[in-house]
Amino acid sequence: MIDINFLRSNPDAVRENIRKKFQDKKLPLVDEAIALDAKKRALTSEGDSLRAARNALSKQIGVLMREKRTEEAEAAKAQVAKDADRLARIEREEAEVSEQLKKVMMSIPNIISPETPIGKDDSENVEGQRFLEPRVPDFEIPYHLDILERLDGVDIDSARRTSGQGFYYLTGDVARLHSAVLAYARDFMIGKGFTYCIPPFMIRSDVVSGVMSFEEMDGMMYKIEGEDLYLIGTSEHSMIGRFMGTTIDESKLPLTLTSYSPCFRKEKGAHGIEERGLYRIHQFEKQEMIVICKPEDSCAWYEKMWHYTVELFVSMGIPVRTLECCSGDLADLKYRSVDVEAWSPRQKKYFEVGSCSNLTDAQARRLGIRYKGANGSAYAHTLNNTVVAPPRMLIAFMENHLRADGSVEIPEVLWPYMGGTKELRPNK
């Protein structure tokens, strides 16, 4: 959510930002917000005047009563009662207008970075850097489900019977590898100075609306029937919500946190062969990183964070590249975002395995997260980034470490987490 003061002073800049995101249908929201803001300020001013008049009359009534000027005192009391009725109406109307203004402001997208490329959708995202040389072996690489099934590592059919489409069982050494990667990612981030957390896996609606737009909520979140609770789509939601309504001492910033959680997503509209298997699923696990910092530090943290993910994948011998998200592909709260994509030797192309985002103060405004120092208080900046998200990461892992005989090499960094196991061998 952007600052109403900025919108009031720079309406044309806000309109231009909306156009850059190809959301022209939201252009009328700028004038609507300006009108509601003016109405709210007028009501506030009238209310303040009535309160001041009430206080003055209350003092005057005491003087009149002491001087036994009863008739004048009663007239003043009548005026106080009349003003009280008007003030009550104003306060109700002000609350209604404030809620309307908040809803409109929450629908206006955050200002995007000057470095964000302009484009309508993800087809116009821009490649950044590549890390490790992608390779295509001289033998055919099977579809990832076939690799996993030969390792006795996945059971999709049983998951369909118990849970439906979009679920899976991981078993044996593949399940152990899944956990090993998460444990390695946890320790990797602790080594970078991040504090490890395990958050609640359900959050209330006021947290949901604070961390994402209404459109994202509808497309992602699972609602718990009969309760004001949602299953989290990523631990970022719960981790940022932890600081809702708080003021953090400036000396404690930045807060650098890494969190583990299962993630639950509707994944509406997923289809096609490359959406089968473990690409688009309703439940997965993830190691995330979250930073809460001062505004002047958020751009530097953004660069550090996506580099950490790249470093992690490179340490496991998986080639990756970065892809700068264009304006039309940015969620409304995001200032800037970059995807980290892993190389698929089978498809001979890259696919997304993580995303790093700087939301500036958009989430902090919605959730009331401030920091306070010698120069007063201000809204903090929030950032989030995927460290690693198996089982999708397993697809890149299996394809890049598959040998011609069907075995899968385990990189050295994971040996301690695999009990010394250095390879997975097919059973089928």
- CA distances 227 to 125, 203, 208, 213, 352, Å, are 39, 11, 14, 21, 34
User: Would the pLDDT of 6 be above 80?
Assistant: yes
Does the domain at 4-105 match CATH 3.10.20.30? Answer given as no
Q: Is the pLDDT of residue 3 over 60?
A: yes
Range of lowest pLDDT (291-300, 318-327, 389-398): 389-398
- Mean per-residue pLDDT, 57-64: 75
Sequence spans of domains, the chain: 4-105, 122-424
The answer, yes or no, to whether residue 387 has pLDDT greater than 80, is yes
Range scoring the smallest mean pLDDT among 11-20, 38-47, 208-217:
208-217
Does the pLDDT value for residue 240 go beyond 60?
A: yes
What are the pLDDT digits (tens) for 20-30? 999 999 999 99
What local confidence, expressed as pLDDT, does residue 396 receive?
96
pLDDT tens, position by position, 330-343: 999 999 999 999 99
Mean pLDDT, rounded, for 373-389: 95
State the average pLDDT for the chain: 93
At residue 385 the predicted structure's pLDDT band, cuts being 50, 70 and 90, is very high
pLDDT of residue 282: 92
Calculate mean pLDDT across residues 281-294. Answer: 96
Lowest mean pLDDT among 211-215, 314-318, 395-399: 211-215
pLDDT score, position 273 = 46
Q: Is the pLDDT of residue 80 over 90?
A: no
- Condensed to tens digits (0 to 9), the pLDDT of residues 151-191 reads 999 999 999 999 998 899 999 999 999 999 999 999 999 99
pLDDT of residue 236: 94
Could you tell me the CATH superfamily of domain 122-424? Bira Bifunctional Protein; Domain 2 (3.30.930.10)
pLDDT in tens, 244-276: 999 999 999 999 999 999 999 987 554 444 556
For the residues 380-393, what does the mean pLDDT come to?
Answer: 95
Residues 235/240/245/246 CA torsion (nearest 10 deg) = 120
pLDDT at 271: 46
For the segment 53-78, the average pLDDT, to the nearest whole number, is: 77
Q: What pLDDT is recorded for position 251?
A: 96
For residue 119, what pLDDT is reported? 97
Provide the pLDDT for residue 65.
76
| pLDDT at residue 99 greater than cutoff 50 | yes
Would the pLDDT of 19 be above 70?
A: yes
pLDDT band at 277 (very low <50, low <70, confident <90, very high): confident
pLDDT tens readout for residues 188-221: 999 999 999 999 999 999 999 999 877 777 778 9
